[in-house]
Amino acid sequence: MQKALLKLSYYIDNLNRASASISAILLFFLAFLVFFDAFMRYLFQEGSITLQELEWHLFDLSFLLALAYTLKHDKHVRVDIFFEKFSQKTKEYINILDNLFLIIPFSMLIAYFGYDFAMQSFLQKEASSDPGGLCCRYIIKSAIILGAFLLFLQAVSEIIKSYQKIQNPKFLFFSFAVFVAILFLLNFDFYYLLEPSILMFLLSLVLLMSGFRVAFAFGFVGILFAFIDYDLSLEIFKMLPMRIYGIMQNFTLMAVPLFILMGLILEKSDLAKNLLENLGAVFGEIRGGLAASIVIVGAILAAATGIVGASVVMMSIISLPIMLKYGYDKSLATGTIAASGTLGQIIPPSIVLIILGDVMSISVGDLFKAAVVPGLLLVTLYLLYIFLYSNIKKDAAPPVKLERKPSKKELIVSIIPPFILIFAVLGSIFAGIATPTESAAMGVVGALILTIFNKSFSFSMLKYVTVETVKLSAMIFAILIGATAFSLVFNELGGGELVHNFFSQDIGDKWLFIFIAMAAIFLLGFFVDFVEISFIVVPLFVPIIHTFGIDPIWFAILIAMNLQASFLTPPFGFALFYLKGAAGKLVSTKDIYKGVVPFILIQLLALLILILFPQLVKLTL
Count CB-CB contacts under 10 A for residue 137.
Answer: 21
Confidence of residue 571 (pLDDT cuts 50, 70, 90): low
Residue 181 has pLDDT above 80, yes or no: no
pLDDT score for 237: 94
Angstrom distance (rounded) from CA 105 to CA 148: 10
Angstrom distance (rounded) from CA 559 to CA 355: 11
Angstrom distance (rounded) from CA 337 to CA 287: 17
Count CB-CB contacts under 10 A for residue 580.
Answer: 19
In this prediction, residues 317-342 reach a mean pLDDT of 86
pLDDT tens, residue by residue, 253-303: 898 899 888 888 877 777 767 777 777 777 777 888 888 988 988 888 788
Residue 136 has pLDDT above 60, yes or no: yes
Angstrom distance (rounded) from CA 492 to CA 188: 20
Q: Is the dihedral of CA 567, 568, 572, 576 positive or negative?
A: positive
The candidate with the shortest Cα–Cα distance to 341, out of 317, 368, 371, 370, is 317
Count CB-CB contacts under 10 A for residue 326.
Answer: 15
Residues 6+ apart with CB under 8 A from 58: 26, 27, 29, 30, 33
Residue 191 has pLDDT above 60, yes or no: no
- Per cent of the chain over pLDDT 70 is 94
Angstrom distance (rounded) from CA 81 to CA 263: 28
Confidence of residue 576 (pLDDT cuts 50, 70, 90): confident
Residues 6+ apart with CB under 8 A from 485: 106, 218, 219, 222, 223, 237, 240
pLDDT score for 592: 87
Confidence of residue 177 (pLDDT cuts 50, 70, 90): confident
Cis omega (within 30 of 0) for bond into 571: yes
Name the average pLDDT for the chain: 86
Confidence of residue 183 (pLDDT cuts 50, 70, 90): low
In this prediction, residues 374-384 reach a mean pLDDT of 95
Q: Is the dihedral of CA 356, 357, 362, 363 positive or negative?
A: positive
Confidence of residue 188 (pLDDT cuts 50, 70, 90): low
Q: How far is CA 392 from the centre of its chain?
A: 38
DSSP line for 445-505? HHHHHHHHHTT---HHHHHHHHHHHHHHHHHHHHHHHHHHHHHHHHHHTTHHHHHHHIIII
Residue 464 has pLDDT above 70, yes or no: yes
- More reliable by pLDDT, 576 or 462: 462
Residue 432 has pLDDT above 60, yes or no: yes
- More reliable by pLDDT, 87 or 572: 87
pLDDT score for 389: 92
Q: Please answer whether residues 298 and 559 qualify as being in contact, where contact means their C-beta atoms are separated by less than 8 angstroms.
A: no
Confidence of residue 514 (pLDDT cuts 50, 70, 90): very high
Per residue in 37-57, is it b (16+ CB within 10 Å) or e — as a string?
A: bbbebeeeeeeeeebbbbbbb
List beta partners, residue 213. 78
pLDDT score for 453: 84
Q: How far apart are the first and last CA of the chain?
A: 65
Confidence of residue 182 (pLDDT cuts 50, 70, 90): low
Angstrom distance (rounded) from CA 530 to CA 306: 14
Instruction: Give the 3-state secondary structure of residue 334.
Output: helix
pLDDT score for 192: 56
List beta partners, residue 78. 213
Angstrom distance (rounded) from CA 3 to CA 13: 15
Residues 6+ apart with CB under 8 A from 349: 255, 259, 303, 306, 368, 425, 426, 429, 436, 439, 440, 443
Q: What is the CA radius of gyration of the chain?
A: 25
Q: Please answer whether residues 557 and 293 qualify as being in contact, where contact means their C-beta atoms are separated by less than 8 angstroms.
A: no
Residue 378 has pLDDT above 90, yes or no: yes
Q: Is the dihedral of CA 491, 497, 498, 503 positive or negative?
A: positive
In this prediction, residues 98-105 reach a mean pLDDT of 93
Which of 55-64, 232-241, 376-385, 494-503 is predicted least confidently? Answer: 494-503
pLDDT score for 322: 79
pLDDT score for 82: 81
Instruction: Give the 3-state secondary structure of residue 213.
Output: strand
Which of 32-46, 225-239, 266-280, 593-607 is predicted least confidently? Answer: 266-280
Angstrom distance (rounded) from CA 300 to CA 606: 19
- More reliable by pLDDT, 165 or 380: 380
pLDDT score for 410: 74
pLDDT tens, residue by residue, 344-375: 889 988 888 999 999 999 999 999 999 999 99
Q: Please answer whether residues 406 and 281 qualify as being in contact, where contact means their C-beta atoms are separated by less than 8 angstroms.
A: yes
The values of phi and psi at residue 433, to 5°, are -75, -35
Q: Please answer whether residues 106 and 238 qualify as being in contact, where contact means their C-beta atoms are separated by less than 8 angstroms.
A: no
- The pTM of this model reads 0.86
Residue 27 has pLDDT above 80, yes or no: yes
Residue 541 has pLDDT above 80, yes or no: yes
Residue 551 has pLDDT above 60, yes or no: yes
In this prediction, residues 33-49 reach a mean pLDDT of 82
Residue 60 has pLDDT above 80, yes or no: yes
Angstrom distance (rounded) from CA 326 to CA 273: 20
pLDDT score for 615: 92
Confidence of residue 411 (pLDDT cuts 50, 70, 90): confident
Residue 111 has pLDDT above 90, yes or no: yes
The values of phi and psi at residue 75, to 5°, are -100, -5
